[in-house]
Structure 1
Amino acid sequence: MSSRSSNPLARMHQPLQRWLPASLLGRLTLVMVAGVLVTQLAASAIWASQLRAKSQVEAQSSAQYVAHSAAGAIRFFRSLPPAYRLLIIQQLREMGGTRFFVNLNHAYVPIEQIAPHPLAQSVIATVDATLRSDLPHSPGFRLAFARPDRLVVAEHDVRLDDLPNAWVQHVLLLKPDPAPILVIQTEIEPGNWLYMAALMPNPYFLDSSDPFAWDRLMPQILSLAVVLLLCLLVVRSITRPLAALSDAASALGQGHDDEARPLPETGSREFINTARAFSAMRERIGRYIDDRERLFISISHDLRTPITRLKLRAELLDDEALRDEFEEDLDELDMMVKGALQCVKDSDIHENPTEIKLDTMLGRMVRSAELAGHAVAWQPSGVTVRGKPLALKRALGNLLDNALFYGARAEISVRQEPGWVLICLRDHGPGVPDEAFASLFDPYVRLAHGREQNDGGMGLGLGIARGVIEAHGGRLVLSNHPEGGLNAVVRLPAV
């Protein structure tokens, strides 16, 4: 039941893992950038809603003020005799005008309206409702917002640009940025239409209600850029010491500790403690390896002397059968000492890494095998890897020897994958039972057919090969080939 319930969660996490960066720097940067962006967007959304609400209230108040003024002007012109209306309008223009630009037409003048805008529509609705409330007996009102450069003010397509500047520059025109103009037209009597145009108390109310205007976005963008830059610098300062620690650990694991630089004890207190602990561990491991090598060399040297003495004394025995048994036991003991020393030395060869041409190395191994009478199929690949030549040759040589001892003939192939070089060595022997793979790399473990084919071996070759390959940052994988035999795949980092 629990495994079934966890499967959907695992399926949900798989797409997320594909999108997440692999490095800690990338993940911390992504999290911090996403957090800043989400916070900024949330704050901007709240601020935008408050700005729109404030702009709506201000626009409604301004619309009612303009509507009341327009209603008073309409009553005034309705109260005048028709013959006096043009005279009054002319006098108002010569005096500099009033709040409204006023004109009389014999019919409704079509207006080219601005693009639809919710706040403009709200203002028009409020002005219309207020006018109808103040002038309940009026036949109706035609309202619209228009741009100054396209505004028609009189019959016969007379535009605002055609009028003298003195008539309109203080009433309708704002420089250098013109604002939308509210136009109110109503029929005060049959055949006479009153045309009134005016700016809103806040002429730029449409722009002030837009939270995404450029002058408002620019400070937010600059502040966001500064915060993101600081986040990147902080994340970089945190992850740089971790990258140094990772490189040092990788060098230690691959046996390149001599080339590794000391970890800098800078940064946070936690990293300084970690760097000190790692440096102390690296020193202890170095001392342990040196002590282990000296110990095995000493043991080998100390044991060879008594073994040699025992062999000489065994030659003095008169009983030939007993002498043969002694010599056989001494040879076995000598072989065990040599094998243990070889196991230690072969897994810790002190060489400088260099560029290795696999064609040259594998070609020599193949020619040596062919001279010994073995059949090896191989094709040059032109691939180069970086590593310790003698150690890598010993590892590949052990794998090839196993393939030839236990499989009669072998095949070697080299191919490249993204970031990796694959060296495949396949034999044509009986393969390995599935239950034996778990212990195949253990020292002194040999399968039955292995003991029959190579009675002089000690079962150390695979363990040594795996240790060398892993020290190069690679991996050794053993599996039975579908067509028979054992297939050994060596994965090494590409140059």
Structure 2
Amino acid sequence: MCSPPTSACPVLKRVGDRLRRLWPASLLGRLTLVMVAGVLVTQLAASAIWASQLRAKSQVEAQSAAQYVAHSAAGAIRFFRSLPPAYRMLIIQQLREMGGTRFFVNLNHAYVPITQIAPHPLAQSVIATVRETLKTDLPHSPGFELAFAWPDQLVVAEHDVRLNDLPDAWVQHVLLLQPDPAPILVIQTEIEPGNWLYMAALMPNPYFLSSNDPFAWDRLTLQGLSLAVVLLLCLLVVRSITRPLAALSDAAEAFGQGHEEGASPLPETGSREFINTARAFSAMRERIQRYIEDRERLFISISHDLRTPITRLKLRSELLDDEALRNEFEEDLDELDMMVKGALQCVKDTDIHENPAEVKLDALLGRLVRSAQLAGHVVAYQPSGLTVRAKPLALKRAIGNLLDNALFYGERAEIGVSEEPGALAIAVRDHGPGVPDDAFASLFDPYVRLAHGREQNDGGMGLGLGIARSIAEAHGGQLLLENHPQGGLNAVIRLPA
């Protein structure tokens, strides 16, 4: 737990929120991200291990090569020291005419400044090894000047004489100038006062500096190509895994929305697990479809059988002398006929199949209020003069369910209609005990009834609120339940204005 003075918790929370936003929502995105990240981390770890091993190997090889070159240079220095000064240039000239030896050798009267290559750890290690080996082999020498230089910048003699100024025959068998120049090791030592021996040579592996670099362009290109191939294969595998799942998701969504006409069966391709899942889903879809078809046939038969008694009741209502009572009977029979005609749709969507129309709320709610008052209930309603576009019978059914609940579970009810920004609200409030806060989440579940409701109405099924909410949502609205500040439950249907 973070203490109040610190600011670590907000920072960590912000970082966590950003990471959650970056985390893909789709299975394809998540698998792709995990596999790509895994391949990249593995590649980087392998490259780091390989680079470490390569550097260690190059270091050992360079040390060995440096000792070999230093021993050869020590032998050459001893040889030229043993010669009389007058014969030294003669021997050097003969070596040049014969094609040279391991070293390009020259004599100068002073130290020749060298333009060194850029600092490199391996080059500095080689120079240190050569210096130590020369000091060991030639303990009485006054000192050695060592450096690595590029051929095009190498000065080989006094008065700024460069390597490129010399005849090709003098250096072509000793130093590598074309086509890819390599760094040249230059050793200068004073063999006697006023006489400096100048020696230049390549390392046994001329390109030891580039071979030591694990991030050279050729190696990076090869690693990049291999990484691209691996990532491409990973993406293809992930795509092949998620494509059948996407087809399964589309099929399930289409089936849930009732779009079964022309639906093609799921392809039984892919992994064994998906094939088994596709077969199980297809079998489940067929069983549910058969069940729905059987239920539709049952309700079609029931609705067909009910038409005859409804027709007889309509004929008998014509014999009533009381015109108001006859009109009430005819309206009830018309509603019953509409419900019978839409029985199948009602079973599917808990809604009556009818076309939306402009509904005058005062007329619709006034009839509900009069019916409740005739039954001896107390219902208050103030006309609003508002209209709403809705399915009349479905909306009446939803409000009727809320009013029935209010009258069953409360002493009296109040109905109010008000306009809100972009919406119209129809509120039904009772004066009962209300609903406990922890019970709101389960009120819309089928067959769920509170203890107070069971005491007041033991014949209910607990379906009214769920049907009312489904009708409200089918109109693009919502049903909200809340305890009224002055007591009782307040049910509000909000519909688009």
Identify which range, 158-167 or 130-139, moves more after superposition.
Answer: 158-167
Take 2:123 and 2:385, find their aligned partners in 1: how far apart are those partners? 90
Q: Distance in 2 between matches of 1:347 and 1:208?
A: 78
Match of 1:81 among 67, 81, 84: 84
Q: CA deviation at 1:30?
A: 1.9
Aligned position for 2:419: 410
1:435-454 correspondence to structure 2 within 5 Å = 435=436, 437-438=440-441, 441=444
- Which residue does 2:345 correspond to in 1? 345
Query: Residue 101 of structure 1 contacts residue 196 of structure 1 at CA under 8 Å; is this kept in 2?
Result: yes
Correspondent of 2:266 among 263, 266, 279: 263
> What stretches of structure 1 of length at least 5 have no aligned partner?
2-6, 317-323, 350-360, 379-388, 414-423, 447-457
Matched, 1:69 2:35: no
Select 1:230's aligned residue among 214, 230, 233.
233
Describe the superposition over 1:83-134 as per-residue Cα deviations: whole angstroms up to 9, x where unpaired.
2222222222222211111112222211111111111111111000000000
**Alignment CA distance shift 1:253-1:103 (3 Å):** same
Q: Which amino acid aligns with 1:345?
A: Q
TM superposition score normalised by structure 2: 0.71
Deviation at 1:480, TM superposition (A): 6.1
Range 58-67 or range 18-27, more displaced: 18-27
Which residue among 105, 115, 118 is the counterpart of 2:118?
115
Question: Residue in 1 aligned with 2:6?
Answer: none
CA deviations over 1:353-402 (Å, ceiling 9, x no partner): xxxxxxxx99x64x866998855599xxxxxxxxxx999x9878988999
Q: Deviations over 1:196-226 (max 9, x none)?
A: 1111111011111112223333333222222
**Would the aligned equivalents of 2:398 and 2:472 in 1 still touch at CA under 8 Å?**
no
CA distance 1:489–1:483, change in 2 (3 Å): farther
Q: Which moved more, 1:199-208 or 1:248-257?
A: 248-257
Separation in 2 of the partners of 1:483 and 1:196? 102
The equivalent of 2:292 in structure 1 is: 289
Counterpart amino acid of residue 55 in structure 1: S
Quick one: which of 36, 40, 47 aligns to 2:39?
A: 36
Amino acid paired to 1:298: S
Q: Please identify, of 458-467 and 14-23, the stretch whose mean Cα deviation from structure 2 is larger.
A: 458-467
From 480, 485, 488, give the equivalent of 1:478: 480
Partner of 2:51: 48
Deviations 1:129-167 (CA, angstroms, capped at 9, x unpaired):
000000001111111111111111112221111111111
2-side partners of 1:194 and 1:282: how far apart?
95
Paired position in structure 1 for 2:106: 103
In 2, Cα distance between the equivalents of 1:187 and 1:377?
Answer: 112
Distance 2:261 2:73 in 1: 91
Deviation at 1:33, TM superposition (A): 2.0
Q: Match for 1:187 among 186, 190, 208? A: 190
Quote the residue 1:356 is aligned against: none
In structure 1, the residue matched to 2:454 is none
Q: 1:221/1:471 Cα in 2 relative to 1: closer, same or farther (>3 Å)?
A: farther
For the Cα contact (< 8 Å) 2:472–2:493, is it kept in 1? no
Amino acid at match of 2:480: L
Aligned 8 A contact 2:360 2:386 in 1: no
Q: What is the alpha-carbon distance in structure 2 between the residues aligned to residue 101 and residue 256 of structure 1?
A: 89
User: Contact 2:395 / 2:471 at 8 angstroms: preserved in 1?
Assistant: no
Contact 2:80 2:88 in 1 (8 A): yes
| Contact 2:303 2:343 survives alignment (8 Å) | no
Measure how far apart 1:434 and its partner are.
6.0
* 1:118–1:314 distance in 2 versus 1, CA, 3 Å: same
Report if the CA contact (8 A) 1:66-1:200 is conserved: yes
Secondary structure of the 1:202 match is: coil
> What amino acid does structure 2 have at the position aligned with 1:218?
T
Equivalent positions of 1:92-491 (< 5 A) are: 92-258=95-261, 260-302=263-305, 345-346=345-346, 348=348, 365=358, 374-375=384-385, 406-411=415-420, 413=422, 425-427=424-426, 435=436, 437-438=440-441, 441=444, 463-464=466-467, 466-467=469-470, 476=478, 478=480
Percent of aligned positions with the same letter in both sequences?
72
With CA pairs under 8 Å and 6+ residues apart, which has the higher RCO, 1 or 2? 1
Between stretches 433-442 and 241-250, larger displacement belongs to 433-442
Native 8 Å contact 2:151 2:182 kept in 1: yes
Number of the residue aligned with 2:408: none
SS of the residue corresponding to residue 279 of structure 2 reads helix
Taking a change above 3 Å as real, the CA distance of residues 166 and 444 of structure 1, as seen in their structure-2 partners, is closer
TM-score (norm 1): 0.71
What is the SS of the residue equivalent to 1:185? strand
Secondary structure at the counterpart of residue 198 of structure 2: strand
Once the two structures are TM-superposed, the CA of residue 243 in structure 1 deviates from its matched residue by 0.3
Cα 1:210–1:487 change in 2 (3 A) is farther
Is residue 399–residue 468 contact of structure 2 (8 Å, CA) maintained in 1? no
Range 437-446 or range 41-50, more displaced: 437-446
Q: Which residue of 2 aligns with 1:321?
A: none
Task: Report the Cα offset of residue 78 of structure 1.
Answer: 1.4
SS in 1 for 2:219: helix
Q: Deviations over 1:248-300 (max 9, x none)?
A: 11111222232533211111221111111111211222222222233234334
Shift of 1:311: 9.9
> 1:66 Cα deviation (Å)?
0.5
* Secondary structure of the structure 1 residue equivalent to 2:419: strand
Task: Give me the CA root mean square deviation.
Answer: 4.9
Matched AA of 1:478: L
Bigger mean CA offset, 249-258 vs 197-206: 249-258
1:304 and 1:57 mapped to 2: Cα distance? Answer: 101
How big is the shift at 1:428? 6.7
* Structure-2 change in CA distance of 1:110 and 1:40 (3 Å): same
Q: CA contact under 8 A between 1:181 and 1:199: conserved in structure 2?
A: yes
Distance 1:127 1:269 in 2: 66
| Deviation per residue, 1:25-77 (Å, 9 max, x gap) | 11222222222222222222222222222211111111011001111111111
1:347–1:468 CA contact under 8 A, matched in 2: no
2:300 and 2:33 map into 1 onto residues whose CA distance is 53
